[in-house]
Structure 1
Amino acid sequence: MTQPALAFVGLGAMGSGMAHRLLAAGYPMTVHNRTAARASSLVEAGARLAASAAEAVPDAEIVILSLSDDDAVEQTLFNEITGSLKPGATIVDTTAVSPAYARQAASRLEAMGLVRVEAAVVGNPGMAKAGKLRVLTAGPQEPSGPVRQVLESIGESVLHVGATGAASALKLCFNLLLGAHTAALAEAVSYGDSVGIDKSVVIDALAASGFSSPALSFRASFMRDGTYEPAAFRSSLMAKDLRNAITDASQHEVSMPVIQRVADRFAEIVRAGHGDCDAAVILRQQENDKGHNRIPVID
């Protein structure tokens, strides 16, 4: 069976992993990224590189987006892509956007006669490349046919969670837990270190305990090495997701004081100019509070 032609726009850590997985599954693919150099490994693997998002999509039956936020989707999808789409093309948006924007985007595309599949993904770049993500979909109906096959290629599970916006909201539930866990881990490591326990001993003990999880152990590996780039999940994206969760929760009259404080911490990291570091860099921020290893603020 001939695989449908794909366009993949947005080749950050997660996007690149998903695109590699789909190429390995035999899909013909055109790719675009604002920084073209990030596409080099995909071109070597057989993808065609487009100079712009608009040039990537005219022959694609399915267009997959993996962008940074609402603004990036607005610019790329509505200002560049929609006028160049092949009739009948489907847009699969894996970007972690706010639930409100997810609903707005779907409505606007429907008015244009276009279909948007909301497909939030949970996992890390290695899981993306291995096809081991958890894919959360939302909308009037479950994805089927070729779109479903694409999602099953990148995910070991595909779960339809409800109406438009619900997948984005559930993704925020995952990430607010990740943010809180990562912040708590940093504070625990900092405290243990302050009373004279070797930092690596604290990290290894916590990561191997019943209080850990695969996600926490993954962040612990960054803290153990003290190396936060290249990031698997940038601090700027964590700050954005926590902000989106708090905003959406407030619209439903849900208070999240713990997550508000965690969001403040990640906002501090971004303001210091370290938004491109992995979210585990919050340990360094914690150390900065003690006066050790101060993070220089980048103008």
Structure 2
Amino acid sequence: MKIAFIGLGNMGGGMAANLVKAGHQVHAFDLSEAALAKAREHGCETFSTVPEAVAEADAVVTMLPNGGIVKSVYTADVIGKAPKGALFLDCSTIDVATAREVAQLAGDAGYIMVDAPVSGGIAAANGGTLTFMVGGTAEAFAKAEAVLKPMAKAVIHAGQIGSGQVAKMCNNMLLAIHMIGTCEAMALAEKAGLSPQKFYEISSKSTGYCWSLNDYTPVPGVGAASPADNDYQGGFASALMLKDLRLAMEGAQGARANVPLGQHATKIYEAFVEGGNGAKDFGAIFTTL
């Protein structure tokens, strides 16, 4: 299959490489020449414009920074430039309204589209072990699944278009709340005289079990290996967590949902990022306690 891949950043580069490994012909585009060079090393054919990359594509995968860019790229450079009937898969994390609007525009122009945001981070993108949360019709999901499987450990149909973005914003709001709680508990244990390692051994086998504690321990030298062991470099940047939390707050407002812990987590990450820590892994909240 000919797959155009637009957006070769920290996540997209590894994802495109895994599509090549699966035997697909990948036509890649990014604004960064360094990203394009790396894509060529992994077997992608690169192009200088988006319309050139999508011109012969059976499917177009996008991994872009925000909803405004997603809408701009699709309306200006993908819709009407890719062959009619091509499958569009937007794997960016964006607001639900924009995801639905772009899908409607694509559908009106004769294309099939799904929103398919991911969970798993850079290591999972490189390793082909992402979780995809897919919004779209059953027919669209069936077609999208074949494209997504080489990049995934799980591909889940969340429901109608936009449902993938709903799942992503709720998942990451929960993750932020878990991480803050994990950091608070580990800091309290240490200050109260219990070693972080001993607390980890107990809580990871008790009702405090959660991914942030067991699989992504935010204390250096304790529990699972994580960015905490590398001065909180790599992993999932706090600025990206804040972006996702703001999307969740926007979604909560639109749905008239009460999310007091989500609101508090957003304020905590806003202060952390505004303090110059946006590039640090989101588990670095531990350092504030």
TM-score by length of 2: 0.86
Q: Distance in 2 between matches of 1:122 and 1:8?
A: 18
Paired residue secondary structure (1:218): coil
Paired residue secondary structure (2:285): helix
- 2:140 corresponds to which residue? 143
Q: Distance in 2 between matches of 1:223 and 1:197?
A: 23
1:259, CA displacement in angstroms? 0.7
- 1:33 corresponds to which residue? 30
Instruction: Report 1:188-267 matches (<5 A).
Output: 188-195=185-192, 201=197, 204-205=200-201, 208-210=204-206, 211-216=208-213, 217-218=215-216, 220=218, 221-222=225-226, 224-225=228-229, 227-230=231-234, 232-267=235-270
Q: Distance in 2 between matches of 1:185 and 1:202?
A: 14
Q: Which residue of 149, 152, 176 corresponds with 2:149?
A: 152
Residues 281, 142 of structure 1: alpha-carbon distance in 2 compared, 3 angstrom cutoff: farther
The size of the alignment, in residue pairs, is 281
1:245, CA displacement in angstroms? 1.3
RMSD over aligned Cα atoms: 2.5
Gapped regions of structure 1 (runs ≥ 5): 288-299
Residues 271, 202 of structure 1: alpha-carbon distance in 2 compared, 3 angstrom cutoff: farther
1:173, CA displacement in angstroms? 1.6
- 2:128 corresponds to which residue? 131
Paired residue secondary structure (1:268): helix
| Contact 1:99/1:248 (8 A) holds in 2 | yes
Q: Distance in 1 between matches of 2:261 and 2:47?
A: 44
Residues 42, 219 of structure 1: alpha-carbon distance in 2 compared, 3 angstrom cutoff: farther
- 1:277 corresponds to which residue? 280
Are 2:100 and 1:96 aligned? Answer: no
Q: Which residue of 9, 13, 20 corresponds with 1:23?
A: 20
Q: Distance in 2 between matches of 1:55 and 1:6?
A: 12
Query: Runs of 4 or more off by more than 6 Å in structure 1?
Result: none
Residues 270, 87 of structure 1: alpha-carbon distance in 2 compared, 3 angstrom cutoff: same
1:8, CA displacement in angstroms? 1.0
Are 2:181 and 1:184 aligned? Answer: yes
Paired residue secondary structure (1:84): coil
1:198, CA displacement in angstroms? 5.4
Residues 142, 186 of structure 1: alpha-carbon distance in 2 compared, 3 angstrom cutoff: farther
Q: Distance in 2 between matches of 1:206 and 1:51?
A: 54
Paired residue secondary structure (1:161): strand
Are 2:50 and 1:47 aligned? Answer: no
Q: Which piece of structure 1 moves more, 113-122 or 23-32?
A: 113-122
| Contact 2:228/2:283 (8 A) holds in 1 | no
- 1:293 corresponds to which residue? none
Q: Which residue of 103, 106, 109 corresponds with 2:106?
A: 109
